[in-house]
Amino acid sequence: MSNPAKTHSTKIDEARIDQAQVDQAQETPPEVTLKKYGLFLGWIEDRTGLISRLNTVAGHQVPRRSKWAFVFGSATLFAFILQVVTGITLAMFFEPSTATAYQSLKAISTPGTFEAVVRGLHYYGASAMVVMMGIHLIRVYLAAAYKYPREVQWISGVIMLFITLAMAFTGQTLRWDQNAVWSVVVGAEQASRAPIIGPILARFLMAGDTLNAGTLSRLYALHTYWFPALLFGLIGLHVFLVIRNGISEPTVPGRKVNPRTYKQEYQARVKADGVPFWPDAAWRDTLFGSALIILVVFLAWKLGAPALTMPPDPSIVQADPKPDWYLIWYFAVLALWPYGVTNLMIILAPLLAIVGLIALPLVSNKGERSPSRRPWAIGIVAVTVGMVFSLTVVGMREPWLPHFDAPPLSAQVVGSSDPTVIRGAALFHSQSCLLCHKIGNDGGVRGPNLTQVGQRLTADQLTWRIQNGASSMPGYAGVLSAQQLRDIVDFLATRKN
């Protein structure tokens, strides 16, 4: 049986709670709110409470010494907002159908049109977002801002980085020209090499076993719906955690992170020497973010939309698909790495990078934060940035490809009036040797430099190599006549300086 006294007491408590809520709601009369915020904002505040909550968020305290090094996270958000606005605008003109996608994009890219400027903004905005996110990641890593209590902030940021790169890749494929179509094929082929889930990933990316009409629809849905939705959710979580845990204060050598006491110490420091985020700190974010947008607008206006290659034709296999510049370094790694370990580089290397970045705050969430006390962190960043920069330069040059536009060697380079040597120099070009081998400043770099080959190899050694070829060089036995072979050997024998 129920206890009447207990039931009566519960009802009284509920009544008190309801009355307390009513009293709290009536603490600020509408006329006071209208007077404080004005007619329009006061009406919004009285009905939603939104203005006071925004004021609370904007006024949260941040460390006073959080200066210009802290602007790159907000700059990434500025770039993302630009991508959303320009992406929605482009979706109004782009036709995601294999029959019409190329023509619609070609129309969008007409120089001097509004659509071309918007496409340029979207293209250069993507570059700005990737760059800002990379710099922000480096800044956070060097300052060890991934340590307690900001582990989840770091993990969410890492996930956002890889989603951004995936969105950049799918955005490139939506151009649906020859380069885009073969980029999809190459991407699916690389994904298929993963054990167990590889074929599933490849089929998912291609929307089937081969390139088909559904491939473009699948990529369009990923690029315009799924990836942005994931980023919106992660950005919301990231910003919430930044407000909840506070912005990591500038590092001080010797000041270590102790999970047992850090929150109390941080709150005490911010209380003693903090400033409101708005306007004391936010003006730097606003100024830098605005400058970034202005730069993107300038590039879009000055350089226009990126050029398209020929219309897509999967039957033409002589294609050289490559990603946009911010992924060229990885493209160069795959091209330069020995073929036997390509699978490891395609699958294992990205997997290790993802696992390592996510696991970092879980295995190192306390201790020293100052870069001066963590020289290995500076070394890792220096080596990584140096490698990415160097590989990007190499990827732009593509030394692994023949130099198809190499002109014939000039008489000055040949440097001989001997008819045999002259014929040999002409054959060196006509037989495509100059496409891969450099003579002086002319030719390609795929094969060894032959400028001084006459000092390294004898005539017999040259003859044997030309006839038998090498790992990336075809053999010319049966292709060249005996006289042609002698002419080329005689020409190369003169290459001694």
Over its C-alpha atoms, the chain yields an Rg (Å, rounded) of 31
398: left (phi over 0), alpha (psi -120 to 50) or beta: left
The rounded distance, in Å, linking the Cα atoms of 170 and 219 is 6
In the numeric block, the tokens 């290459």 are attached to 495
Q: Does the N-terminal peptide bond of residue 96 adopt cis geometry, omega within 30 degrees of 0?
A: no
Burial class (CB in 10 A: 0-12, 13-18, 19+), 205: buried
pLDDT-wise least confident of 38-52, 66-80, 450-464: 38-52
* Residues whose CB falls within 8 Å of the CB of residue 216, separated by 6 or more in sequence, listed in order: 96, 97, 98, 101, 174, 176
Taking each continuous run of H as one helix and of E as one strand, the counts in the chain are 23, 4
Nearest to 127, CA basis, from 158, 164, 102, 154? 164
In the numeric block, the tokens 């390592």 are attached to 356
> H or E stretch including 443?
strand 442-443
pLDDT, mean over the chain: 86
Tell me the three-class secondary structure of 271-322, residue by residue: HHHEEEHHHHHHHHHHHHHHHHHHHHHHHHHHHCCCCCCCCCCCCCCCCCCC
In the numeric block, the tokens 């969410």 are attached to 156
* Per-residue pLDDT, 17: 46
Q: Does the domain spanning 411-493 belong to CATH 1.10.760.10?
A: yes
Q: What is the largest CA-CA distance in the chain?
A: 121
8 Å CB contact between 361 and 248: no
The rounded distance, in Å, linking the Cα atoms of 115 and 90 is 7
* 66-397 and 411-493, same CATH topology: no
Average pLDDT over residues 180-207: 85
Q: Does the domain spanning 66-397 belong to CATH 1.20.810.10?
A: yes
Q: How many CB atoms lie within 10 A of CB 296?
A: 24
Q: How many CB atoms lie within 10 A of CB 146?
A: 24
Give the pLDDT band (50/70/90) at residue 398. Answer: confident
Pairing of strands 274-276, 61-63: antiparallel
Give the pLDDT band (50/70/90) at residue 25. Answer: very low
The rounded distance, in Å, linking the Cα atoms of 95 and 153 is 37
pLDDT > 90? residue 317 = no
Q: What is the DSSP string of 82-146?
A: HHHHHHHHHHTT---STTTHHHHHHHHT-TTSHHHHHHHHHHHHHHHHHHHHHHHHHHHHHTTTT
* Per-residue pLDDT, 490: 92
Q: What is the pTM of this model?
A: 0.80
In the three-class reduction of DSSP (H, G, I as helix; E, B as strand; rest coil), residue 438 is classed as strand
In the numeric block, which tokens belong to residue 185?
């094929």
Q: Does the N-terminal peptide bond of residue 149 adopt cis geometry, omega within 30 degrees of 0?
A: yes
In the three-class reduction of DSSP (H, G, I as helix; E, B as strand; rest coil), residue 214 is classed as helix
pLDDT > 70? residue 471 = no
Domain ranges of the chain: 21-54, 66-397, 411-493
The rounded distance, in Å, linking the Cα atoms of 165 and 168 is 5
pLDDT tens, position by position, 218-243: 999 999 999 999 999 999 999 999 99
pLDDT tens, position by position, 284-311: 999 999 999 999 999 999 988 888 888 8
pLDDT > 90? residue 338 = no
Give the pLDDT band (50/70/90) at residue 51. Answer: confident
Nearest to 243, CA basis, from 216, 220, 277? 277
Average pLDDT over residues 188-206: 85
pLDDT > 50? residue 20 = no
Average pLDDT over residues 10-22: 50
In the numeric block, which tokens belong to residue 429?
């070009």
Pick the more confident residue, 343 or 81.
81
Distance separating the N- and C-terminal Cα atoms of the chain: 109
pLDDT tens, position by position, 354-381: 999 999 999 999 999 999 999 999 999 9
8 Å CB contact between 227 and 383: no
pLDDT tens, position by position, 87-109: 999 999 999 988 899 999 999 98
